[in-house]
A and B are shown apart, each in its own frame.
Chain A
Amino acid sequence: MATEIKMPQLGLTMEEGTVERWLKSVGDEIKAGEPILEITTDKLTNEVEAETDGVLLKIVADEGSDVPVQGILGYIGQPGENIDAAGASEVKVPAAAPAAEAPKPEASVITPAVTETGKKVRISPLARKIAMQKGIDYTVLKGTGPGGRIIKRDILAAESAPAAAVKEAPKAPSSEVAPKAQASGSMFPVKNLELMDGDTTEKLSGMRKVVAQRMYTSAVEIPAVTQTVKADVTKLMALRQKLKEEGRHFAVNDWILKAVAKALRKHPEMLVSLDGETIIHRAHVNLGMAVALDAGLIVPVIRDADTLGLEALSAKAKDLANRARSNQLGSDEYKGSTFTVSNLGMFGVESFSPIINQPDAAILGVCCTEDELVMEDDGTITKHQVMRISLTFDHRLVDGAVAAKFEMTIRDLLENPMDILL
């Protein structure tokens, strides 16, 4: 029996992967555990290993093709084995398209320029490109271009045909709006914007697409509130400077991570996730840490941050950030956060409203440190350093007063830095 090589799921958010490179050719002998191809996800490049011994019988997904998770990449079996026979029992499970989603372009469906009957399909390059983007099987369409060529309008007509059918189906008059939205279907509606002089376009893909999807989902699902609190960090800055002079350098962010971890331990009501109508109370303080990359954004996770001392926490944060930037994070290193910190202080941001990194219930935006004049009790004016922290929270789970108390705890820790360490 031939064994399928399937697209693995390398992380919670992975929906599809791209075949980067086949390391083996058809006919090559393969040992179980041996890498057979490389795939890239939105975040990483990984090797897929063989699960059984045998020879590579067939490559289904060519290099460069996007395949959904659990989609079939190829087959391993005994030399001379007939895949179709083997596949009769095994391949009947369709390549796992996630339910309730628009049909995904699957390499095997789209590529033929020849129909099953062997007839050549006349289609314009543009029409073929649009068909592949929209996952439309053009081999069954009738073209209306010169000589029966399938052109753009034929693909667009094929796309809108099912939508029209959906629209007619519902009986209740009020339901017209909903199916329309369903038919247009995606969080990235096509608006056919006019290009202006000098504009260029690129496909929304890879990490950018994942960031876009996650930000959209969070923004749409969560009734979010942002509250900003000001902390006097004069003492913290002085302590940091003193340690620096002693040769022990900690980033401002290290202190904040430590303070947040400590505050979260004290406020478990912030460590929650909503799953349907179930509230999950999280046991671990797993701090997500937003890291900006050229290609987008990634959030590596410091596990059990509350159990780490400042030095260990600092080292861990630095290591994760560095490896995030060089695309060397393991897939389990950006999963499992229970709270996230996003620091834009180094860019001079005075206040902002970050978007919650689901399934967390809150995210802390850290703003810049700036000088302020303060009137002391004795009436003198002195210069202090202050920093604002902006907490965005899910108001379904957390109320304003609860969030404010959590922020006050963080503020008190930042204002009395020795308490962070104790």
Chain B
Amino acid sequence: MSTLSVSKAIREGLHEEMVRDENVIVLGEDMAVMGNVFAITQGFLDEFGPLRVIDTPISESGFTGMAVGMAMRGLRPVVEWMYDDFIGVCLDPVMNQAAKMRYMTGGQVKVPIVFRAPIGAGRRNAGQHSQCLEALFTHIPGLKVVCPSTAADAKGLLKSAIRSDDPVVFLEHKLLYAKKEDIPDGEYLIPLGKADIKRPGKDLTIITWSRQVYFSLEAAETLSAQGIDAEVIDLRSLVPLDWEAIRASVQKTGNVMVVEEGARRGGIGAEIAAEIQEELFDDLDAPVARVAAANVVSPFSPPLEDAMFPHPEDIVAAAHRLLAK
């Protein structure tokens, strides 16, 4: 065991993969000389050289498209968008090229690429730098979508993502980068599509991911003191989704809540709630609850921003409503 911040763990995972496979390259804004705004690639330029660690202009459409082309020709690029919000200017190479190429060429072309991007509210970054756009990506068939919450998961999942032959959108919460946690020594992988039961419980299932895992665990402690035993599931990956873990938990507790930081309308919670009511209707003791961000633009004002997205007290309150106690 060693203790690393999430950003250092991501750095370590990326570093191990670059050492292991010379086809792994990184590119994005401020990735080389500066070593990334969150210091993910610090020292990489010296170690791997300018052909594998590439500074790009502020031109997401250009370098994302270029990276997709590199992946089609056999490299394994790890692209960083400085914020997931910037997907707006480079969606076509992701949605219409990377996601579709393997299918449309009958498997002749693979696109082994990872798109890394920070997500999340709470940093007073206002409307264009605070979104959680997981739902947007999960709606596009052909993309895998991964959202780690811990340092250990971030490293193990990133390594699996880099080794995936299909495009992976890898979303990192910017307020978790500095969080220090124990991670296993040596090389390890965490498979995509396997949820992690963070806290077993029998009264209520809280399904969540990314930073809301911590808020949910905090809420679960509060609930526990009130006699409500909540199970917290960290999905870790949204596509593929660990349906078996969800099923087992729902069948155990009969009460479910999905907690997400993204907007409520059309969110992941809506999708999971729909699946649960179709597949597990007879196991439900109450309608599936959603705790999500309000359907508004992220405010710049700190009090307003805090009111916009879920906090532990919102989860506790929702649990009381759900269980009617």
Contacts and interface: CB of A to CB of B under 8 A. Distances in A.
Interface string B192-207: 0000010010100000
A144 B244 CA distance: 30
**Size band of the interface chain A makes with B:** 10 to 19
Given A195-B248, A197-B248, A199-B248, A152 B285 contact: yes
A129 B324 contact: no
B284 interface: yes
A129 B321 contact: no
Contact of B282 (A125, A144, A151): A125
A302 to B, nearest CB: 44
B285 A126 contact: yes
B317 interface: no
B118 interface: no
A126 B284 contact: yes
A276 interface: no
A151 B282 CA distance: 12
B19 interface: no
Given A145-B324, A146-B321, A151-B324, A198 B244 contact: yes
Contacts of A128: 282
Interface string A6-41: 000000000000000000000000000000000000
Interface residues of B, number: 17
B321 A127 contact: no
A127 B248 contact: no
A340 B115 CA distance: 68
Contacts of A199: 248
Contacts of B262: none
A235 B248 CA distance: 57
Nearest to A192: B202
A82 interface: no
Given A144-B324, A151-B324, A195 B282 contact: no
Contacts of B283: 125-126, 129
A201 interface: yes
B156 interface: no
B251 interface: yes
Contact of B281 (A125, A145, A198): A125
A124 interface: yes
Q: Is the interface of A mostly helix, strand, loop or mixed?
A: loop
Interface string A123-140: 011111100000000000
Nearest to A151: B285
A144 B286 CA distance: 12
B269 interface: no
A196 to B, nearest CB: 9
B76 to A, nearest CB: 31
B254 A126 contact: yes
B289 to A, nearest CB: 11
B2 to A, nearest CB: 27
Given A146-B324, A151-B324, A152-B254, A125 B284 contact: yes
B103 to A, nearest CB: 31
B124 interface: no
A127 B251 CA distance: 12
Contacts of B285: 124-127, 145, 151-152
Interface string B284-304: 111000000000000000000
Interface string B238-253: 0000001100100110
Interface string A195-237: 1011101000000000000000000000000000000000000
Nearest to B286: A124
B286 A151 contact: yes
Interface string B166-199: 0000000000000000000000000000000100
Contacts of A127: 285
Contacts of B200: 194
Contacts of A144: 324
Interface string B308-325: 000000000000010010
Interface string B207-244: 00000000000000000000000000000000000001
Interface in B19-65: none
Interface of A: 124-129, 144-146, 149, 151-152, 194-195, 197-199, 201
Pairs of residues from A and B, 10 with the lowest C-beta to C-beta distance, nearest first: A126-B285, A126-B254, A124-B285, A152-B285, A129-B282, A125-B282, A145-B324, A151-B285, A146-B324, A125-B281
15 contacts: A124-B284, A124-B285, A125-B284, A126-B282, A126-B283, A129-B282, A129-B283, A145-B285, A146-B286, A149-B324, A152-B285, A194-B200, A195-B251, A195-B252, A198-B244
Given A144-B324, A151-B285, 4 more contacts: A124-B254, A146-B324, A151-B286, A199-B248
